[in-house]
Every structure is written in C-alpha cells, then in structure tokens.
Amino acid sequence: MDRHEYSALELREGIARRDFTAREVCETVFTRIRAWDPKFKIFLASDEQGAYSAATEVDRKLAAGESAGPLAGLPLALKDNLCTSGFPTTCASRILEGWRPPYNATVVERVKAAGAVLVGKVNMDEFAMGSSCENSAFFPTRNPWNPDCVAGGSSGGSAAAVAADLVPLALGSDTGGSIRQPASFCGVVGLKPTYGRVSRFGLVAFASSLDQIGPLARNVEDAALLLSVIAGHDQRDATSTDLPVPDYLLRLKEGVKGLKIGLPREFISAGIHPEIKTALDTAQKVFADAGVELIEVALPHAEYCLAAYYLVATAEASSNLARYDGVQYGQRVSGDNLLEMYAATRATGFGAEVKRRIMLGTYALSAGYYEAYYKKALQVRTLIQRDFEQAMTKCDLILTPTSPTTAFSLGEKTKDPLTMYLSDVFTTSANLAGLPGVSIPGGFSSEGLPIGLQLIGKAYDEETLLRTAYAFQSRTDWHTRRPAMEEAK
Ligand code: GLN
C-alpha cells in the first residue's frame, strides 16, 4: 500500500512509531496535489509553507518525547468558509477575494492544537449555496470517480480531496446536506453533527440555525477521530452545547445488536434511482445480519422539508449576507455615493445563485409576506422536528439514501435550480430537526459511481450513529474501493 492510501489512524500510528516522519507525509500530500489538482480542481489555495512548518514541529515534539496531539502529523483540508488567520478565506466568492480573516475558526484552532497539518483551503459552492460545486466563482471541482461528473456540494472540494487520496481528513459544513451529499457522490464518509455539537465560531454564516461543521474521511474511524477533536463547548458560540464529548473511537466497535433502525416510508417511495433503491435494500440485509431490527416509521411532514428549508435558509442567508457591502470585507466597487457603492459591490461580487437566494429570502421576510412564508416555514419546521421525535420513540436511528441520484454530469442541472435543489430531498430534514446525520459508502451504480446511504441519529448521540455506521462498514467493502483516476494530462 502506498502512503497516500493510509487512513488517518494508520498514518498516526506510523508517525508515532517513527516508521516515517510527519514531513515525509507532507511530501506525499504535496506531490499528489501537484499531480492531481490540475485535473480535479480541488484546492483554492494550498499552504505548503504552513504545512511543512506544522509537520516539522510535530516531528520535533515526537523526537523530544513530548506529546504531539491526537491528530499529530495528519494532513487536513479545510473548506474555504472556515476562517484561517492571515490566510485567504473566500467562500468561493469574488466578493471575498483577497480577504484575510484576523482570526481562526474554533475548529481550526482545535485541529491545529491537536497537531493536524493544514494543507490548504478547498473549493465549494459560493457561500455554501449549491449541490454541485458549480456555483464556485472560480471553477467547478470534478469528481475523482469520473471527471465529467460533479463532486457534489457544497463541500465538494472537501469530499473530492479525500476521495482522490490527497488528504485523509477534511472539514466541511452542512446546512442542508453539504457534507453528506458530496460525501455520497465521492464515495467517502461525511458526518453532520447535531446542531450545537461543534462550535460555529469562525464559520462564515449561511443559515445560522442550520449550519454545522463536520468531518469527511475515507472511513468511519477517521471521521470519529476528527469529530472527537472538533466537538465541544465554545464560549464564543452561544449555540454550542456544554454536554461532555465522548471519545468517539472508544465504543465504535461494540456492535449494534438490539438497535432499531427506522425506514421512513415517505422517503423510500420518493423517486429514488432504482440502483440506489437496490443499495438500500441490500443495506437492510446487512443491518439485519448485524442484529439490528428494521421497522417502518412515519415522517408525515417529510414532503415539506425542501420547501421549509429553502425558505428558512434563504431568509437567514439574506440577513447574514447583508454585511458584504464593500465596507468591511473583501472587494469594493466604487459608486457615486454610498448606496451606489453598496449596489455595485454586491452586483459584481455575488454570483447568480447567491443573488437568487438573497432575493428569495428578502421576499420571504418582507412585510406582508413574512406570515405567509417565513413564519409558515418555521411552523412546518416544528412539525418536522416533532415527526422525528415521534419516530425516534420507536427506533434509535433512521436509514435513507443520502441523495436520490449518484453524481450527475457537469452542467446537467445548472440551468434548472429547482432540480438542483431536489438533490437535498433526504438531507435537509436532519438540519431542520437539528439531528446528526452521516453518509457512508453503500454501493456503486452500473456506471461505477458511488452510492451513499444516510443514517440519522438522536440528538447528541453521534456515538450510536458512528457505531452503527461502523457496523455497516465492517460488513461491507465499499469504503475500500478507490477511483481509478487516469494519469493527469
Ligand atoms: N445544497 C443545499 C443548498 O444549496 C445545501 C447547502 C449546504 O448544506 N450548505 O442550500
């Protein structure tokens, strides 16, 4: 096995045993980035200098017998909406081009303190709005399994970086599916924690009541490792919980005998691709063999998830994005007076999808429409939360496909925002209800594209969620398959 194929835990062991140094791991990463990034367009900015100095520090600590942290020497890629002190953070938007945040996001601080080697910032849909990475103002990221297909979105760069074996670990953010959907398109593991489990301080806000940061990795163990490091209370984010953080690796292998998994009948009938349906059926057998009881559950308001999501998310986005006016951040386009400067800056700085969302959200919040749209959406959100509470009295977890399709072709859905939005039909529910969800590799289509399965857990019970994901992984080999990736031209 080549070193780039090592999982995070294998690398950690190798570095700790001094089989190889953190610097050597760093060399492997940048050699691969140089070879493959021109083809798959994953990185917006890499930080070779920063990475080597972090790796050198890890090697020094280990040589001196000091402890170097749970992520010592592990290469990690960051979605470009996570603030990095003094290092460009663009959210894949022209409006933030050239902006360097004055501070680090809490998750960035935590992974650095744990010894991770930050290799750079990766591509995404502009301000995390999208499902394909095609809304990046710079370029779309391509899928390592087929470069003519999208990597998914909005954390497409994070998923592709892991799938292409450039890095073993990445962080993404998920507002309506943006970690899980690209993870499923790229055949990796992606976890959205419970709302409040991970600090959002320094995550550029899209929709603050839905956003969460989470790990992407090639396997469940690595995702568990990274979650253990980033989870926990942060006094700079009032919505982060002070519940204790378990070591998510500790009970990972304890098995799932006696657990109950619910299958929501509303989701199973909703226009799923037949090959994905087959993967879901097979998964049920795998879980049954592992000692899980499968039952049918009802989520009667599931059909309203997308509508509620696109009202709540756009309403919050319209307010959050009001701050980009050319005064404090990034780009400014001058105008004859202050208002014209605002207008010109926003007209040139934002892409089409971001403008569409700002307009939708402003409309939903405006006098006369607020009651009919935004307030209604919040009421529906409550009903969806109650559906899950009800369902979870009968089961421990819920199983669905992650997305109704596998990765689609570049350009296939860009002309039709509504079909693009449908990509999130199974994922938005967990954000609306605040629950943790994970996408795990669950098979392949006849075209050789990965199929992802989603498990949704109870609030703050990422432990059971990961344990169940691990039980599936240990009985299947989908996560071990790698994309062929012909040599870059
Ligand atoms: N694809 C969804 C959207 O476009 C979700 C995005 C996200 O989770 N950030 O809003």
Whether the predicted pLDDT of 457 surpasses 80? yes
Enumerate residues 6+ apart whose C-beta is below 8 A from 38: 488
Q: What is the mean pLDDT of residues 10-18?
A: 96
| Gap from CA of 128 to ligand 1 centroid (Å) | 6
Q: Which of 92-106, 251-265, 370-384, 413-427 has the lowest mean pLDDT?
A: 413-427
What pLDDT is recorded for position 270?
A: 63
What pLDDT is recorded for position 439?
A: 98
Average pLDDT, the chain: 96
Ligand 1 pocket check: which of 134, 135, 136, 175 to mutate, most ligand atoms within 8 Å of Cβ?
175
Torsional class of 187: left (φ above 0), alpha (ψ -120 to 50), beta (otherwise): left
Whether the predicted pLDDT of 269 surpasses 80? no
Of 212, 159, 169, the residue nearest 452 (C-alpha): 159
| Gap from CA of 348 to ligand 1 centroid (Å) | 22
Of 248, 313, 302, the residue nearest 460 (C-alpha): 248
Furthest CA-CA distance within the chain: 70
Ligand 1 pocket check: which of 125, 134, 321, 426 to mutate, most ligand atoms within 8 Å of Cβ?
125
pLDDT band at 417 (very low <50, low <70, confident <90, very high): confident
pLDDT band at 488 (very low <50, low <70, confident <90, very high): very low
pLDDT band at 6 (very low <50, low <70, confident <90, very high): very high
| Gap from CA of 120 to ligand 1 centroid (Å) | 22
**Boundaries of every domain in the chain:** 3-266+277-298+386-480
What pLDDT is recorded for position 489?
A: 41
Q: Are 73 and 307 in contact (CB under 8 A)?
A: no
The ligand 1 atom nearest the CA atom of 130: 4
Q: Determine the Cα–Cα distance for residues 406 and 415; give it in Å rounded to an integer.
A: 19
Is pLDDT larger for residue 73 or for residue 367? 73
* Per-residue pLDDT tens over the stretch 66-107: 999 999 999 999 999 999 999 999 999 999 999 999 999 999
* Per-residue pLDDT tens over the stretch 383-416: 999 999 999 999 999 999 999 999 999 999 998 8
Annotation marks residue 79 as catalytic: yes
| Gap from CA of 309 to ligand 1 centroid (Å) | 9
Q: What is the mean pLDDT of residues 193-203?
A: 98
* Per-residue pLDDT tens over the stretch 275-320: 999 999 999 999 999 999 999 999 999 999 999 999 999 999 999 9
Q: What is the mean pLDDT of residues 425-437?
A: 97
| Gap from CA of 132 to ligand 1 centroid (Å) | 9
Going by their DSSP bridges, the two strands 260-264 and 397-401 should be labelled as parallel
What pLDDT is recorded for position 419?
A: 83
| Gap from CA of 446 to ligand 1 centroid (Å) | 27
Q: Which long-range contacts (CB under 8 A, 24 or more apart) does 17-25 make?
A: 18/62, 21/55, 21/59, 21/73, 22/54, 22/55, 22/56, 22/58, 22/59, 22/62, 22/72, 22/73, 22/117, 23/52, 23/55, 23/56, 23/59, 25/55, 25/73, 25/74, 25/75, 25/117
What pLDDT is recorded for position 389?
A: 98
* Active-site residue, from 7, 41, 79, 458: 79
What pLDDT is recorded for position 267?
A: 84
| Gap from CA of 60 to ligand 1 centroid (Å) | 41
Q: Which of 78-92, 327-341, 390-404, 461-475 has the lowest mean pLDDT?
A: 327-341
The percent of residues in the chain predicted with pLDDT above 70, rounded, is: 99
What pLDDT is recorded for position 422?
A: 86
Q: Which of 124-138, 255-269, 460-474 has the lowest mean pLDDT?
A: 255-269
Label residue 85 exposed, middle or buried (CB < 10 Å: 0-12, 13-18, 19+): middle
Q: Are 403 and 427 in contact (CB under 8 A)?
A: yes
The ligand 1 atom nearest the CA atom of 206: 9
Query: Mapping DSSP to helix (H, G, I), strand (E, B) and coil, where does residue 166 land?
Result: coil
Q: Which CATH architecture has domain 3-266+277-298+386-480?
A: Alpha-Beta Complex (3.90)
Nearest CA to ligand 1 atom 10: 129
Ligand 1 pocket check: which of 91, 123, 129 to mutate, most ligand atoms within 8 Å of Cβ?
129
Q: How far is CA 481 from the centre of its chain?
A: 21
CB atoms < 10 A from the CB of 167, how many? 29
* Active-site residue, from 132, 154, 173, 240: 154
* Active-site residue, from 93, 132, 178, 403: 178
The ligand 1 atom nearest the CA atom of 428: 5
Annotation marks residue 429 as catalytic: no
Q: Is the dihedral of CA 83, 88, 92, 96 positive or negative?
A: positive
Q: What is the mean pLDDT of residues 226-249?
A: 97
Q: Are 132 and 150 in contact (CB under 8 A)?
A: yes
Which residues are 213's β-sheet partners? 173
What pLDDT is recorded for position 487?
A: 58
User: The pTM is what?
Assistant: 0.97
Q: What is the mean pLDDT of residues 39-44?
A: 98
Q: Per the omega criterion (within 30 degrees of 0), is the bond before 154 cis?
A: yes
Nearest CA to ligand 1 atom 4: 130
Annotation marks residue 439 as catalytic: no
Ligand 1 pocket, Cβ-based, cut-off 6 angstroms: 128-131, 154, 174-178, 206, 313, 424
